[in-house]
A and B are shown apart, each in its own frame.
Chain A
Amino acid sequence: MNTTSDINPKPDEGSYWPSVLLVGGIFGIAGFLINLIFGYMQISSEPTGSFLSPMILSGLVVCLATCVAGLVAVWHFTKDVTDRIKLGRGALIGFLTGAFIILFSTILNELWYMIDPDYTEKILESVIENVEAMDVPAETRDQMIDQWAAGIQDTTFVQQLLFGIPVTGLLNMLTGMLGVKIFGAKEEESF
């Protein structure tokens, strides 16, 4: 038989892990797939010299999606567990969701490199062809090529986590807190 506390848990009761793992998993997989789809679009595209290449567009989409994951995880928690959620817990849910997005997408990236070992090289070649077709000063063009080449250079699994989690985690902490404000139990409001 359910007790009152089972039905309406107190603040900070109830596990947040299902929300973190579910939302982190979905956004991690979605981010990986978007990057992969846009990556192959980049490889198969002709160099146009446009700034907005498929890789740039995928970065924008993934960035926006990744940063709202904390908000979505808190929304899931308030629907699934309780809407009585403290700010600190929202921040924690956001941070962990961001960390798991990086973890899941990094694992999937590593697995994909086993399936298609030339993937990054093909992307780099395509991006360099596009940059070379751009109407920019030669110095800027060289800088952009250096930047892409450095971006695609080998990074270990642990390095990817160390570089990725702090920024994504912090931004998702903020959206997690935003989630507490939007989806948590509310007080009366006025304009």
Chain B
Amino acid sequence: MRYRSLYAGILIGLLLLVIASMGSGIIGVAVDYGNWQYRMFRGICHQMIERSFQINGIPMAVNTRCFGVFTGLFVSWLFIPALKNRVKNKKWPVFFLIIVVILQIGDYVAGLFSVWNSSNFSRFFMGNLLGAAIVCMIADQFSAKPKSSK
């Protein structure tokens, strides 16, 4: 496997990302929206309470879709050693990513126009798929055989 240090570094980064995104409920601290977890994700997530899971009655620091993306990235990243050769030189990860992106957009737009009301769990699942699709695209780069040059 190539780029082991990069793989390990990002694995740790994603683990910390998932833990931080759970907010202060994971350590049982009373909610304080000014604390570091909530501030960290303010720039990339709307953090709507109605659209966030809760731990110990405390909303997570990100909404369900973002949490789904982070957990999808982390869990799929764990499988890269097993996945890297299976996706090598294959086109299906590209189609998988395109389909998942279209699904995300469709889910969001349908929700916006009240065509379909997605639940927190469906948004979490859609986020999971997006995270997994991104990792499937990258995974073959860790494969042992070096890329051929032009």
Using a CB-CB cutoff of 8 Å, which residues 12-63 of chain B contact chain A?
Answer: 13-14, 17, 31-34, 36, 38-50, 59
Q: Tell yes or no: B73 within 8 A of A by CB.
A: yes
* A63 lies within 8 A of B148 (CB): no
B150 touches A167 (CB 8 A): no
Contacts of A157 in B (CB 8 A): none
Question: Any chain B CB within 8 A of the CB of A150?
Answer: yes
Which residues in window 173-191 of A have CB below 8 A to B? Answer: 173-175, 177-178, 180-182, 184-191
On chain B, the residues within 8 Å of A88 by CB distance are 3, 6
Cβ of A37 within 8 Å of any chain B Cβ, yes or no, is no
Docked-complex contact B34 and A87, CB < 8 angstroms: no
Complex-state Cα separation, A88 to B141, whole angstroms: 10
Q: Which of B13, B41, B92 has the most CB of A within 10 A?
A: B13
Say whether, besides A62-B43, A63-B44, A187-B89, A163 and B147 are in contact (CB < 8 Å). Answer: no
**Contact present for A180 and B89 (CB under 8 Å):** no
Can you name the residue of chain B whose Cβ is closest to the Cβ of A56?
A: B46
Interface extent on A, as a size class? 35 or more
The answer to whether A4 has its CB under 8 Å from any CB of chain B is no
Interface residues of A in 120-173 (CB under 8 A from B): 136, 140, 143-144, 146-147, 149-151, 153, 155, 159, 163-164, 166-168, 170-171, 173
Q: Answer whether residue B134 sits at the interface, using C-beta atoms and an 8 A cutoff.
A: yes
Known A51-B48, A187-B148; contact A174-B10, beta-carbon cutoff 8 A: yes
A135 to chain B, nearest CB (A): 11
Count, chain B residues at interface, CB 8 A: 42
Q: How far is the CA of A116 from the CA of B97 in the complex (A)?
A: 42
A42 at the interface (CB under 8 A from B): no
Q: Does A97 contact B (CB under 8 A)?
A: no
Min CB gap B7→A, angstroms: 9
Tell which of B3, B42, B138 touches A151, judged by Cβ atoms closer than 8 Å.
B42
A190 touches B41 (CB 8 A): no
Cα A140 to Cα B2 with chains together (Å):
48
A180 to B2, CA, bound (A): 15
> In the complex, how many angstroms separate the beta carbon of A9 from the nearest chain B beta carbon?
11
- Interface assignment of A22: CB less than 8 Å from any CB of chain B: no
Q: Which of B13, B49, B148 sits near A170, CB closer than 8 Å? A: B13
Q: Within 8 Å of chain A (Cβ to Cβ): is B112?
A: yes
B59 in contact with A143 (CB, 8 Å): yes
Top 10 nearest A-B pairs (CB, nearest first) are A150-B33, A150-B34, A147-B33, A163-B39, A63-B44, A59-B46, A87-B141, A191-B91, A56-B46, A170-B13
**24 interchain pairs (CB within 8 A)?**
A11-B149, A63-B43, A66-B44, A91-B6, A102-B43, A140-B49, A143-B31, A143-B49, A144-B49, A147-B33, A147-B47, A150-B32, A150-B38, A163-B43, A168-B43, A168-B44, A173-B10, A177-B138, A178-B137, A185-B148, A185-B149, A189-B89, A189-B90, A190-B91
Interface residues, chain B, with chain A CB atoms under 8 Å away? 2-3, 6, 10, 13-14, 17, 31-34, 36, 38-50, 59, 73, 89-92, 112, 134, 137-138, 140-142, 147-150
Given contacts A83-B150, A167-B17, 15 further A-B contacts (CB under 8 A): A52-B112, A60-B46, A87-B2, A87-B6, A140-B50, A146-B33, A150-B38, A151-B42, A163-B36, A163-B39, A171-B44, A177-B141, A180-B141, A185-B150, A190-B89
